[in-house]
Amino acid sequence: MTKEHKQDIGLVKKARKGSHKAFKQLYDKYQHQLFMVCLRYAKDKSQAEDFLQESFIKIFKGIDSFDPEKGFFEFWARKITINVCLENIRKKSLYTLNIAGVENIATVHEDALSMLSKNEMMEMIQEMPYGYKTVFNMYVIDGFSHKEIAAYMEISVGTSKSQLSKARNYLKNLLLERTITVKESHG
Amino acid sequence: MDRFDEIWRNSFQQDEVKPESWNTPSPSVWNGIESELLNKKKRRFIFLLLFFGIFSLLAGAGLLYFNTFNYTSSKSEDIASGLEQIDQSIPMAGGETNISDPSPEINFRNENTEGSEYPAATEDSELENKPSHEEAEKNNEGLSYEVPGENFQSKGNLLVEKSKPSTIENQLDKESQKTTNPQLRKVDKVVKNNSNDSKSLLNSNSVETPEIFLFSDLQDDLPESKEQLATREITSQSVNQLPHLTKELLLLSPAILEHSLLDWEANTTAKSVSEIKPDPSRHWHLSIFSGASIWNQRVGSQYVNDLSAFDFHFSKNNMGFAGGIELGLTLNSRWEISSGLMYESIETTSGHNGELSFSKNEEDREDNSNKYDLNLATPFGFAATNFKLFRDGELSQETIQLLADFESRHQIKNLSIPLSFRVYLLQGEESPFNAGVKLGGNLNYLFSISNQLKNVDTHHDLISFQNDLAETDLSQNIRKFHLNTSAGAFVDYRVRPSLIARLEYTWLKGLTDVFNQEDYFTKIDRHLFSIGFQATLSEQ
C-alpha cells in the first residue's frame, strides 16, 4: 500500500464521519485530475465545471461505498467522473453519430503530436464533435472496449469502431492544420 | 494500439497532473459542492428533528387515545359500581340480598308478617330472618332498621318481592302507586320521624324526587370535606339514573341512603381524589406550549470595546415567538423529566455608525449612485455588505464625507431540543394549583440566520439609501450548534384530572458561542415566557 493510498484512506475515513476539512482536502487533491477528465468529455470549460461539480457531489455522497481494498480512491473517483460525463452527454442528447466522412490522413508526424502541450491536446479533443470525442475518449484514453462502448452508447460495435476511426482522422487533420499553421507562422 | 493512440493515452493517464490555469476549475465549483454537503447535513438534521417530533406526536396521540378510552371506561365502571352498591344496599323486591362488605351493613327485618303494616308488596315475600335484636322486637311496627354503629354487625337479610325484568316498567308504576299509599306513610313515620320534608313529599302524588331535596337532609349529616363535596355531583348524577322504584326506596329509607352514600362515597371519593391529586405513580404526559422569547446577545467585552468608538449596539427589539412540544415522564410525586422540540423565531436589530464618502465624480451615471462594499459589525460577526447610496439632487463635484448610522436586521430561526427536570414544590392535595421549578438545558440549532442591512441614515438630505438593493452575507464564523442551560419556575392549574394548564418562565443561559472569531464572541441568553397545556397520557 502506497503512502498516497494510505493518506487517501485516512481522508476518506474522516470524510465519512462528516469532516468538512477532509472533503476539502480530497477535492483539492483530485480536482485537477478529475477536471481534465471532464474537460475531455465536455464541450467547454463551463460545461466541464458542471460535470466536475456533479461528480464530486456523487463521490462525496457515495463515499461510504468506496472500498479501499478494491482499488485506489483515485480510480474509483475517476470512474464516477467518467460515468457522470457520459450520463450527461447521453441525457442531454449531446451524443450524435457523425456520419460524414473524414479524409484519411496517411501519415502524421507523431513527433509533432508529442510536442504538443496537454492544454493544446485538450483543445484538440474539445474541438471534436461529441460522437467522435466520446468514443475516442472511452476507447483510447479511458480503456473501454468497443463492446462496452457499444453497450453504453447503444450503438453497434461496428459503429463504435468506425466512429473511432473517424475520430482519429479528425484529430490527425487537426494536427496537420496546426503543424501547417505553426510552420507558416515561423516561415 | 498504435503510437498515435499511445501518445494520447499517456498524456492523459499520468498520475500526477501539474495544476495550471486551464485545468483548474473555478472556486464556484467547490462552493456548489460545499453548499450541497451542508444542505445534506442540514436535511439530515431536520429529518432527525422531524422524525423525533412526528414520533413524539404519534406516540403522544396514541397514548392519549388509549388513556382517554381507559379513563372513560373506568369512569363508567366507577359509576356502575356505585349504582350497584346502592342497589345492593337497598334490596329490591323479590330478591334476597346479602348485605356484606363493602356494602352498608344495614339490617332489615320483617319480624311480624301478620302485623306488618308494610305495603302489599311485602305480603308475598317470605320472611326468612327471625328477630334477633331485642330492640327490634320491641318495635311494634314490624319493620325496623338499624343504623350501624361502631359495634354494629350484620344480622340478617331483607326479602322483598323481586320484579321480573320484562315487567319492570309496569312494576314501577305499581310501586309508584304503592309509594303513595297511606300505609306507607305510616311506615315512614316510624322510619323517618325526623324528616318532615320527606313526609310532605311522600304525601304528595309525585314520585319525582327533587334532587335538591334528596340530598339536602343528607348533606347536613355528611362530613363536610371537599373531597366529598367533589364527589357529590357524581353521586347526584348516579342517583338520578336510578329507576323510580329505587328512588322511592331511597326516599323511604334515608338512613339507608345515608349509609349507602357514605360508604359508596368513601369508595368513590378515594378514586376521585386520586384523580384530582397528582398521581404519585409514573406516567407519561404530553405538553404543548407557546409564548414569547426575548433574546439577549451577550457580546464579548473585547468586541464591544473595539467597536465602542462606532457606537455599536447589539440588542434592540429582540423579541419573537416560541413554541414547542414536550413529552415527559413523571418519575414520582415530585419529579418530572421531559424533552421535546422547541421552535423560536426572533428578529433583532443592531447598529453602529461609520464614515462614508460620496463622490459625484465616481457615481454610476445610470442611477446617480455610489457603490459601497464594507463589513457591518453585528452581534453575529462581521458581515460583508454591498449597498448603494443614491444622489437625489444636484451636488458639487467635491467628495462629501458622511457620518452614517447603520442598522442591521437579523432574523433568526432556532430549533432546540430541551431537556428539563421539574420539581413540584407544592404537594397540596386539595388545591388544583401546583408550582415548581425546573432545571435543564437545550441543544440548539440555528437553522436559519440572516443579516440584512435595513437602513443607512446618511444625515444628508440629498443622499439616500434603498435597503432592497443591499446584499449582506452572513458572517463566516457563525456556529450553528450551541448549548445553553436553563432554569425556571412554573405554576400549574389542574383543569381536569388529566389536563394541566401551565404558566412558565424559563431563563436560558448560553454556554457555547454562536459567533466566535479570535477574541470576539457572542453567546445568547434568552427569557422565555410561555403558557401551555399538559395532558396525562398513561400510567406506567
- Whole-angstrom distance, CA of residue A116 vs CA of residue A135: 22
DSSP B334-381: SEEEEEEEEEEEEEEEEEEEEEEEE-STTSBTTTTEEEEEEEEEETTE
Residue A51 forms contact with B (CB below 8 Å): no
- Tens digit of each residue's pLDDT (9 = 90 or more) over A21-63: 889 899 999 999 999 999 999 888 898 999 999 999 999 988 9
Residue B316 forms contact with A (CB below 8 Å): no
Residue A72 forms contact with B (CB below 8 Å): no
What's residue A71's pLDDT?
84
The whole-number average pLDDT for the span B62-72 is: 58
Q: How many CB atoms lie within 10 A of CB B280?
A: 12
pLDDT at A183 over 90: no
What's residue B160's pLDDT?
36
What's residue B185's pLDDT?
43
- Tens digit of each residue's pLDDT (9 = 90 or more) over B420-469: 999 988 765 678 888 999 999 999 998 888 888 888 998 888 888 987 77
pLDDT at B477 over 80: no
Residue of chain B nearest A52, judged by CA positions: B29
The whole-number average pLDDT for the span B4-25 is: 79
Phi and psi angles of residue B501, each rounded to the nearest 5 degrees, phi first: -100, 140
Phi and psi angles of residue B505, each rounded to the nearest 5 degrees, phi first: -120, 135
Q: Which positions 41-80 of B are in contact with A (Cβ < 8 Å)? A: 41
Chain B residues closer than 8 Å to A115 by CB? none
Mean pLDDT score of chain B, rounded to an integer?
70
- Tens digit of each residue's pLDDT (9 = 90 or more) over A22-31: 898 999 999 9
DSSP at B19:
-
The whole-number average pLDDT for the span B265-292 is: 64
DSSP B64-127: HHHHHHHHHHHHHHHHHHHHHHHHHHSPPTTEEE---TTS---EEEE--STT--S-GGGTT---
Residue B27 forms contact with A (CB below 8 Å): no
List, in order, residues 6 or more apart from B129 with CB less than 8 Å away.
B109, B110, B155, B156, B157, B158
Q: What is the ipTM of this complex?
A: 0.82
What's residue B461's pLDDT?
86
CB A160 within 8 A of CB A153: yes
The whole-number average pLDDT for the span B57-77 is: 60
- Name the more confident of B196 and A115: A115
- Tens digit of each residue's pLDDT (9 = 90 or more) over B199-238: 444 444 444 444 444 444 444 444 555 555 555 565 555 5
Disruptive mutation site among A2, A33, A74, A174 for chain B (greatest number of B CBs within 10 Å):
A33
Strand partners, B325: B288, B341
Confidence band, pLDDT 50/70/90 cuts, at residue B164: very low
What's residue B10's pLDDT?
83
Q: How many CB atoms lie within 10 A of CB B43?
A: 10
Nearest to A94 by CA among A137, A63, A158: A137
DSSP B460-486: -TTEEE-GGG-EEPPPTTB-SEEEEEE
Chain A residues closer than 8 Å to B42 by CB? none
What HEC string does A94-123 produce? CCCCCCCCCCCCCCCCHHHHHCCCHHHHHH
Residue B33 forms contact with A (CB below 8 Å): yes
- Tens digit of each residue's pLDDT (9 = 90 or more) over B357-406: 888 888 888 788 898 888 888 888 888 888 889 988 888 878 888 888 99
Mean pLDDT score of chain A, rounded to an integer?
83
Tell me if B40 and A39 make a contact (CB, 8 A cut-off). Answer: no
Chain B residues closer than 8 Å to A168 by CB? 4-5
- Whole-angstrom distance, CA of residue B76 vs CA of residue B105: 25
- Whole-angstrom distance, CA of residue B394 vs CA of residue B532: 59
- Tens digit of each residue's pLDDT (9 = 90 or more) over A8-22: 888 998 888 878 888
Distance from CA of B348 to the nearest CA of A (A): 30
Nearest to B445 by CA among B501, B483, B496: B483
Residue of chain B nearest A35, judged by CA positions: B23
What's residue B74's pLDDT?
52
Tell me if A49 and B26 make a contact (CB, 8 A cut-off). Answer: yes
pLDDT at B192 over 60: no
What's residue B17's pLDDT?
72
Distance from CA of B481 to the nearest CA of A (A): 15
Distance from CA of A179 to the nearest CA of B (A): 16
Distance from CA of A38 to the nearest CA of B (A): 10
Task: Indicate yes or no: pTM above 0.95.
Answer: no
Residue A56 forms contact with B (CB below 8 Å): yes
- Whole-angstrom distance, CA of residue B534 vs CA of residue B286: 6
Residue B15 forms contact with A (CB below 8 Å): yes
Tell me if B25 and A48 make a contact (CB, 8 A cut-off). Answer: yes
Q: CA geometry: angle at A183 spanning A177 and A186, to 5°?
A: 140
- Tens digit of each residue's pLDDT (9 = 90 or more) over A115-145: 788 888 888 888 888 888 889 999 998 888 9
What's residue B381's pLDDT?
84
- Tens digit of each residue's pLDDT (9 = 90 or more) over B109-163: 444 444 444 444 444 444 444 444 455 444 444 444 444 444 444 433 333 344 3
Tell me if B29 and A172 make a contact (CB, 8 A cut-off). Answer: no
Letter for the amino acid at B437? V
Query: Chain A to chain B, count of Cβ pairs less than 8 Å apart?
Result: 80
Distance from CA of B6 to the nearest CA of A (A): 8
Distance from CA of B350 to the nearest CA of A (A): 31
The whole-number average pLDDT for the span B308-324 is: 84
Tell me if A39 and B23 make a contact (CB, 8 A cut-off). Answer: yes
Q: How much of chain B, in percent, has pLDDT values that exceed 70?
A: 55
DSSP, collapsed to helix, strand or coil, labels residue A150 as helix
Residue B5 forms contact with A (CB below 8 Å): yes
Confidence band, pLDDT 50/70/90 cuts, at residue B79: low
Run of H or E including B233: helix B226-240
Determine how β-strand B520-539 pairs with β-strand B499-510.
antiparallel
C-alpha gyration radius of chain A: 19
Determine how β-strand B313-330 pairs with β-strand B381-391.
unpaired
What's residue B64's pLDDT?
61
Nearest to B29 among A18, A36, A49 (CB): A49
Nearest to A52 among B22, B25, B36 (CB): B25
What's residue B341's pLDDT?
94
User: Which of A64-73, A136-145, B101-110 is the least confident region?
Assistant: B101-110
Residue A27 forms contact with B (CB below 8 Å): yes
The C-alpha cell of B372 is what? Answer: 459601497
- Tens digit of each residue's pLDDT (9 = 90 or more) over B246-275: 554 444 444 444 444 445 545 544 444 444
What's residue B529's pLDDT?
94
The whole-number average pLDDT for the span A74-90 is: 89
What's residue B257's pLDDT?
46
Chain A residues closer than 8 Å to B30 by CB? 24, 27, 31
Residue of chain A nearest B31, judged by CA positions: A53
Tell me if A53 and B32 make a contact (CB, 8 A cut-off). Answer: yes
